[in-house]
């Protein structure tokens, strides 16, 4: 499939590297970025991308391009999904679809109505550790799911400039954990309660966000979920999930650089954890793009489809309101307030 990439920032370059090295079914023929410069042009040339442009419309208007991979800023995602759908192009879009729930619904429906594939970039579903826990749960090994615990802690906070446009910790960081929670539970969340503090960097608070957050979830089957996030874990990139059920428990540990340990009279030492998301989730990013390629080849629905893009944003909106008003918030309240249908009806 001939494919155009929109956005040559950090995640865009990760996808380009992975596609050119590990996903031969996808042929990148164009790259669009409004901040196009000599560095981006050289990067494109290095990866044998024949066309670079500042205008994404050149990708939408190109009849030889079959699919679009959207790696631009979040505020452009919904617009580009809608434009790509109108052009009849299949779509992979990074998370979240948008901060505005009505806009999320509009984008998802546009792809559905156009009959094009839409995959959302929740890469953690493709992580080998998280996927192993999911498979154990789906096999029935832990029985009925009672409790889900997720810890997601970054080694260091992002820049303040990024924090100011990120949408907040629930939309930017915990959005992955919201998706993972419903993925592991196999059902939707009905109620959210959230707490947040500024414990890492006062500048994050001055920018209107928190850097430390905890959320309680209630699922439609009665199970309870707990998520904690921190912008700074000094020991590394901390990513763990646990599912406790009526027959047992499934959980994972963090990846480390190697499994060797040294034991002496004074200490026991092991290898450190990964420090960067793109190292920890290297294979997950490759696997999600391979999944997109399979969907393009077979014409079947992707493993993470457009409808999967809405519930995590609903949960992020509920968490944001809960933290602000110091109360639990039902997802139904968010749906009613936003006047957005939770399912496709067009």
Q: Would you identify the CATH topology of the domain 125-276+310-338?
A: Dihydrodipicolinate Reductase; domain 2 (3.30.360)
How does pLDDT run along the chain (346 residues), one tens digit per residue?
999 999 999 999 999 999 999 999 999 999 999 999 999 999 999 999 999 999 999 999 999 999 999 999 999 999 999 999 999 999 999 999 999 999 999 999 999 999 999 999 999 999 999 999 999 999 999 999 999 999 999 999 999 999 998 999 999 999 999 999 999 999 999 999 999 999 999 999 999 999 999 999 999 999 999 999 999 999 999 999 999 999 999 999 999 888 899 999 999 999 999 988 888 899 999 999 999 999 999 998 999 999 999 999 999 999 999 999 999 999 999 999 998 888 765 5
Domain 2-124+284-305, CATH class in plain words: alpha beta
- Calculate the dihedral angle through the C-alpha atoms of 211, 284, 96, 222, rounding to the nearest 10 degrees: -80
The DSSP secondary structure of 287-308, one letter per residue, reads HHHHHHHHHHHH-PPPSSBGGG
Look at residue 67 and give its three-state secondary structure.
strand
Domain range summary for the chain, segments of one domain joined by +? 2-124+284-305, 125-276+310-338
**What DSSP line would sit under 213-270, residue for residue?**
EEEEEEETTS-EEEEEEES--TT--EEEEEEEESS-EEE----BS---EEE-SS-EEE
- pTM for the whole structure: 0.95
């Amino acid at each position: 499939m001939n494919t155009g990439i929109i956005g040559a920032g950090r995640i865009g370059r990760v996808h380009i590297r992975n596609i050119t090295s590990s996903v031969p079914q996808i042929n990148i023929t164009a790259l669009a970025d409004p901040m196009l410069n000599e560095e981006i042009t050289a990067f494109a040339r290095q990866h044998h991308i024949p066309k670079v442009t500042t205008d994404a419309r050149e990708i939408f208007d190109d009849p030889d391009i079959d699919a679009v991979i959207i790696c631009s800023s979040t505020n452009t995602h919904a617009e580009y999904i809608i434009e790509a759908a109108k052009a009849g192009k299949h779509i992979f879009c990074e998370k979240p679809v948008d901060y505005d729930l009505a806009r999320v619904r509009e984008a998802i429906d546009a792809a559905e109505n156009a009959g094009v594939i839409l995959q959302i970039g929740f890469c953690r579903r493709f992580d080998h550790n998280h996927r192993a826990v999911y498979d154990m749960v789906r096999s029935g090994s832990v029985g009925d799911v009672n409790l889900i615990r997720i810890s997601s802690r970054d080694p260091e906070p992002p820049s303040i400039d990024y924090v100011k446009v990120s949408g907040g910790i629930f939309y930017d960081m915990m959005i992955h954990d919201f998706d993972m929670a419903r993925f592991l539970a196999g059902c939707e969340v009905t109620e959210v309660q959230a707490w947040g503090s500024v414990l890492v960097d006062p500048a994050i608070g001055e920018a209107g966000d928190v850097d430390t957050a905890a959320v309680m979830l209630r699922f439609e089957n009665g199970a309870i979920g707990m998520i904690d996030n921190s912008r700074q874990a000094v020991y590394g990139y901390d990513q763990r999930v646990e599912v406790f059920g009526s027959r047992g428990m499934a959980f994972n540990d963090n990846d480390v650089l190697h499994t060797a340990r040294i034991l002496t009279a004074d200490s026991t030492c092991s290898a450190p954890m990964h420090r960067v998301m793109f190292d920890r989730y290297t294979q997950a990013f490759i696997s999600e793009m391979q999944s997109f390629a399979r969907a393009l080849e077979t014409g079947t629905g992707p493993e993470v489809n457009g409808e999967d893009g809405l519930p995590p944003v609903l949960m992020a909106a509920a968490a944001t309101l809960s933290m602000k008003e110091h109360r639990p918030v039902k997802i139904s309240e968010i749906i009613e307030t936003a006047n957005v249908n939770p399912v496709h009806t067009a």
